Amino acid sequence: MKLGIDSYCYHRYFGDAYTFQSKLDVLWSMEDFIKRAVELKVDGVSLESCYFPSFERDYLLRIRGMLDEARLDRVWAWGHPEGLKVGKSLRAAKELERHFEYAKALGASVMRIVGGSSRTRDESHKPQIRRLSLILKEMAKVASSYNIVMAIENHIDFTSDEIVEILSNVDSPYLRVNLDTGNSIRMFEDALEAARKLAPYTEATHIKDLSVGKGSPREFAFWPSVPLGKGIIDIAAIVSMLKDAGYSGLFCVEIDYLKEGYGDEDKGVEESIEYLRGLSTPHPG
């Protein structure tokens, strides 16, 4: 069981706070994040491209050198916050195409992508799926030329059945799934049932636990993150499903915004890694 951290856990450390969050005085670089991952003794990282200060080849090769020296597996994460804008933006599709070169330079064989966001959730999904399927069919050819697998995430935009429909439409081994254990609940699905449907297609993960906040369940802020094992999602059952499905990639912790009372994100990440380590350690008797 390979453990990982998505750099989005530290979005406030990168200077990116939600409107309802306080900002931090500290400001991390990508190098700082990698050093912290090494300290936490994980096996890999998912690197959000939106926090890279440069896509110049020399910089990417320097980051790759750090990752190689630390023997960290890596996923290139593209698309925050709205990804392909549900197929409405040629510019977004061109941007995705460029990122295959960046992922290759970094030594990543998996690239997490997103089709849209919660902002597009309430639009009609049939035309969205049709547009995205056409774009991703072409992108799969590009992915094949780089030997990089795209892993599409439910980004609070599609249900698990709709993700499977997109996969079926594209019909390529170069389009699979980034399973986010929390976003299915934000789409009003049962987390275990969604994981069961997507586990056979999963190439990367965001292992996240949620709690219940205040306001409307349709609002993002209603579903705050908590350290793994402290929330409403049966993380152990989902980990078991993934293992049974033959998943061999990173079990990558993600915290998007931490519920008040749980310290800061770094503490939440550390607790979550320890929780996953506990699941991977055989218990006597």
CATH number at residue 33: 3.20.20.150
Question: pLDDT tens digit string along 159-179?
Answer: 999 999 999 999 999 999 999
Give 9 or 285, the one with higher predicted confidence.
9
Q: How sure is the predictor about 284, in pLDDT bands with cuts at 50, 70 and 90?
A: low
Domains of the chain: total: 1
The answer as to whether 12 is a domain residue is: yes
Report the mean per-residue pLDDT for the chain: 97
Residue 280 has pLDDT above 90, yes or no: no
Tell me which residue of 252, 249, 279 sits closest to 4, measured CA to CA.
252
What the block records as the tokens of 190 is 């049962």
The answer as to whether 25 is a domain residue is: yes
The pLDDT, as a whole number, for residue 44 is 99
The answer as to whether 285 is a domain residue is: no
The answer as to whether 185 is a domain residue is: yes
- Average pLDDT rounded to a whole number, residues 204-218: 96
The pLDDT, as a whole number, for residue 281 is 72
CB 48 within 8 A of CB 7: yes
Q: Which residue range(s) make up the domain with 232? A: 2-280
- Provide the b/e sequence for 211-238 (b: ≥16 CB within 10 Å): beeeeeeeebeebbbbbbbbbebbbeeb
- Average pLDDT rounded to a whole number, residues 144-148: 98
Question: pLDDT tens digit string along 6-50?
Answer: 999 999 999 999 999 999 999 999 999 999 999 999 999 999 999
The answer as to whether 171 is a domain residue is: yes
Query: Does the model's pTM come out above 0.95?
Result: yes
255-to-11, 150, 164 alpha-carbon distances in Å: 9, 22, 25
